[in-house]
Amino acid sequence: MKHEKVLIVDFGSQYTQLIARRVRELNIYSEIHPFNKLPDIDIRWKAIIFSGSPYSVHDDNYPYVNLDNIKGEIPLLTICYGAQFLVANCGGEVKRSEHREYGRANLTSIDTNSKLFKNVCANSQVWMSHADTITKMPEDFLLLASTNDVKYTAFKIKDEDTYGLQFHPEVYHTLDGKQILSNFLLNISLCSQDWTPSTFVNESVKNLQKQIQNDKVILGLSGGVDSTVAAVLLNQAIGSNLYCIFVDNGLLRKNEYQSVLEQYKGMGLNVTGIDAKDSFYSVLSGVKDPEEKRKAIGKKFIEVFDEASNNLQNVKWLAQGTIYPDVIESVSATGGPSQTIKSHHNVGGLPKYMKLSIVEPLKMLFKDEVRRIGKSLLINNKLLQRHPFPGPGLAIRILGEVTVDKINILQEVDYIFISSLKKAGLYDKVWQAGAIFLPVQSVGVMGDERTYEHAVALRAVESTDGMTADWVHLPHDFLANVSNEIINKVKGINRVVYDISSKPPATIEWE
């Protein structure tokens, strides 16, 4: 089945992936391509969206695309930098703002006859994030909306389905953002809503069968949602040619290895458990830098898989549960100019000595999409609703050098925290939670004795895709009880703190 497609032109914004996610929430297929590597612009594209950018139209070598086959030919929505780029290249004027316009604003006027603002509140809240301002519109550009500080907040070109927004409709702080995108895609571009979990599964199975044919595939299960959904999807496509490996890297949660291994076997997956704890501890010995930890763990994973694949006949593929946020935070997902945040162990290819090719059936999906796919595959809901857990495991939740003693302590702390969330009915209200072993010791008093022991931080966030996250306001009584239980039951800990940082500016994991 050929889906109608929306092209998202990536000028390097950290929000570009959110645009794709919003489009997919409307059951419309979208693809992201960097501005400097665009595909042919033809009738395959039902609509085009220009992203924002960290760059300015006043910069030397600013991001540029040729508008000849786009403007007036295909419905176009331009956002932030995209709107400024359109104005500047059509004869308008864009100037540096005296003050960076960032944060919430409210529309003060809307053209009620505009299709773009159908069913949008007259004073709807929007989210600004720009350092330049449109000060003069080109001829044939029609003003659609303003705010108190930004006159040219929204516009269209006369007699064209070409629109511009100075604000970001893709972020949650723009309260009617989804309605605006829906108006553009459904009422203006007339897109079909044919991108659903069932169609993804059916098409992925066919594509995987065509790609892999009769080859054998090895897949490393982690116990998380992503690798599990990838495994079930591959199992549906190639059956017994899928060989799953669940590695005990010694960095999992307490009791997780055996319980998850049994659960996988109960799902009918062809899975083998490998105890590789000591080899992972060895490569982490003396390593303190978080990037070096990730690289060491990633390299060791590859070595374990390589050894396992060599024990099988004719294995040609390594499957991974890579999803969009993994790629986004490692390198630009599209080759565009977005900034690297941190590397991930399952991103970036394989060493030359390894004879396996990579297959990543979920790499264009966000976490919530993966869960919807898993639900359509009839995977147990308890497994699907498990919190995300980092691929490098507890190694990146131990700040500084990783030791067996620290791992044992953190496993106990994490077990108390997660178990308490479940008992209190809070687990499903949190997107991700965990504990972090801090590289500090503090003075305490236990009984009549002075102690000088370690501190841990608890972290709980709410999110939908991991791109942004807010810390969860857990009840004070709950936190007090958890802290008390940890200090009383976990030897070596005498202080517990709670992380109240959001993403951005912080990341969800500390390393």
Closest alpha carbon to 278 in 316, 306, 250: 250
Radius of gyration of the chain from its Cα atoms, rounded to whole angstroms: 25
Q: What is the number of residues in the chain? A: 511
Q: Which residues lie below 8 Å from residue 95, measured CB to CB, with a gap of 6+?
A: 132, 133, 135
CA angle 461, 464, 466 (to 5 degrees): 65
DSSP 398: B
Burial of 378: CB neighbours in 10 Å, binned 0-12, 13-18, 19+: exposed
Closest alpha carbon to 435 in 448, 421, 424: 421
| C-alpha to C-alpha distance for 303 and 351, rounded to whole angstroms | 10
Q: Which residues lie below 8 Å from residue 135, measured CB to CB, with a gap of 6+?
A: 93, 94, 95, 152
Tell me whether residue 168 is one of the annotated catalytic residues: yes
Reading the block at residue 160, the tokens are: 């064209």
Supply the angle between the helices 197-212 and 367-376 in degrees, to the nearest 10. Answer: 90
**Cβ neighbours, 10 Å, residue 311:** 10
Cα 52 to the chain's mean position, in Å?
Answer: 18
Candidates 3, 101, 130, 170; catalytic one:
170
Candidates 80, 130, 329, 345; catalytic one:
80
Reading the block at residue 163, the tokens are: 């629109």
- Helix ranges (DSSP H) in 89-219: 177-182, 197-212
Amino acid in the structure at residue 488: N
| C-alpha to C-alpha distance for 191 and 214, rounded to whole angstroms | 37
In 351-421, the DSSP E strands lie at 357-359
If you write DSSP's letter for every residue of 81-119 in order, what string do you get?
HHHHHHHHTTT-EEEEEEEEEEEEEEEEEE-TT-GGGTT
If you write DSSP's letter for every residue of 27-94 in order, what string do you get?
T-EEEEEETTS----STTEEEEEE---SS-TTSTT------TTTTTTS-EEEETHHHHHHHHTTT-EE
Count of CA atoms in the C-beta half-sphere (13 A) of 128: 25
Count of CA atoms in the C-beta half-sphere (13 A) of 66: 7
Candidates 3, 130, 168, 345; catalytic one:
168
List, by residue number, the catalytic residues: 80, 168, 170
